[in-house]
Homo-oligomer: A and B are copies of this chain.
Amino acid sequence: MVVVMNERATEAQIDAVISRLIELGMDVHRSSGVSRTVLGVVGAHKIDPELIGILDGVHEVLRITEPYKRASRTFKPENTVVSTDDVRVGGDEVIVMAGPCSAETEEQVHASAAAVKRAGAKILRGGAFKPRSSPYSFQGLGEEGLKMLRSAADAHTLKLVSEVMDISQIELIAKYCDIFQVGARNMQNYTLLRELGHATKPVLLKRGISATIEEWLLSAEYILAGGNNDVILCERGIRTFETATRNTFDISAIPVVKKLSHLPIVADPSHGAGRRDMVAQLARAAVAAGADGLIIEVHNDPDRALSDGAQSMFPAQFERLMAELRIIAPAIGRSICLEPVSRRGWAR
């Protein structure tokens, strides 16, 4: 921590700040220049910088270490690869997760799973518990939905990612899914994050709609600190003044996270765009920017979906997107689903 004193700070004010810092157990190095005194403080990660910032004569307090540790690339310089069996997120292959917003019927789940598998997805996405901003909207099928999703994933040799909203759901969801998803609204639900730190399955952690990248990495830290090292970050758009799209997809978050952290990062262009006719553009952009994967809403009949229908792709749109991605990925030394089950040759 560096404490910058006001240009007109008195000796008494400077001494009071130094005494307070020493009282808090810090080592202080004083350096006085022509116009200001600056204090270098060692051991400062234990104290709240704002508590010093409010003292008389202090101009500003500058933090010089990241507040997160385990999520930082300084802590672990090499990339983390999160695996669930043979599916590896964060390696050379760009992994695509796809499927409906929520499980509605057996038929819908199976048809959607078949479609995304055929196009090259490796992981099925789908929710059984839905966080909806209105209490009057469809809230999900619960365990019945989880069963449908697991059965469809197994039938099509896909892994399964599904959202957990509350600690009371962890045990149930763990019985069915391969990866826990934490939604944007729960990014700072610390009770939930702490509990997932003890889980034995990976966690896909979505960025909160107004979370800074630093706060997002701090939320990952809650999970990592509990002993679960398998965290996948997921950018899904932030809230800004622009209303032409539901959210503003923060494409820069991809290179920023790659620089600050070793954790893999995937992109959710469906929520980023909010409407299906802009999903492909954002998906291609995310891969071009270096994302380790994508999570995309695909529904066998989106016009009749009970939730998020407007942003769910038709199977044919998704298939075309996957073909485009197979051209783009090699530009940055990545591959994408080299051997789709039934459509070998598409990637030519």
Question: A-side interface residues toward B, CB under 8 Å?
Answer: 2, 4, 6-8, 20, 29, 31, 33-36, 38, 40, 42, 48, 50-51, 53-55, 59-60, 62, 64-65, 67-68, 74, 77, 131-136, 165-168, 185-186, 188-191, 194, 208-210, 212-215, 218-219, 221-222, 225, 238-245, 248-256, 259-260, 272-278, 281-282, 284-290, 303, 305, 307, 309-311, 324-325, 327-328, 330-332
Shortest distance between the CB of A119 and any CB in chain B (Å): 16
Interface of A is mostly: mixed
| CB pair A64 B36 closer than 8 Å | yes
What are the residues of chain B within 8 A of A225 when measuring CB–CB?
135-136
CB < 8 Å: which of B191, B219, B256 contacts A165? B191
CB < 8 Å: which of B133, B166, B245 contacts A218? B133
| CB pair B274 A285 closer than 8 Å | no
CB < 8 Å: which of B213, B256, B324 contacts A332? B324
| CB pair B6 A74 closer than 8 Å | yes
Measured between alpha carbons, how far is A167 from B280 in the docked complex, in Å?
39
Measured between alpha carbons, how far is A259 from B281 in the docked complex, in Å?
12
What are the residues of chain B within 8 A of A248 when measuring CB–CB?
238, 240, 248, 250, 252
14 pairs from A and B in contact (CB 8 Å cutoff): A2-B62, A31-B31, A53-B275, A134-B218, A134-B221, A135-B218, A167-B168, A185-B188, A248-B250, A248-B252, A252-B278, A255-B278, A255-B281, A328-B328
Shortest distance between the CB of A142 and any CB in chain B (Å): 13
Shortest distance between the CB of A191 and any CB in chain B (Å): 4
4 closest Cβ pairs, A-B complex: A210-B210, A50-B310, A327-B331, A285-B285
What are the residues of chain B within 8 A of A276 when measuring CB–CB?
54
Measured between alpha carbons, how far is A166 from B195 in the docked complex, in Å?
12
On whether A8 and B77 interact (CB within 8 A), knowing A31-B40, A241-B240, the answer reads yes
What are the residues of chain B within 8 A of A219 when measuring CB–CB?
133
| CB pair A250 B242 closer than 8 Å | yes
What are the residues of chain B within 8 A of A252 when measuring CB–CB?
242, 244-245, 248-249, 272-273, 278, 281-282
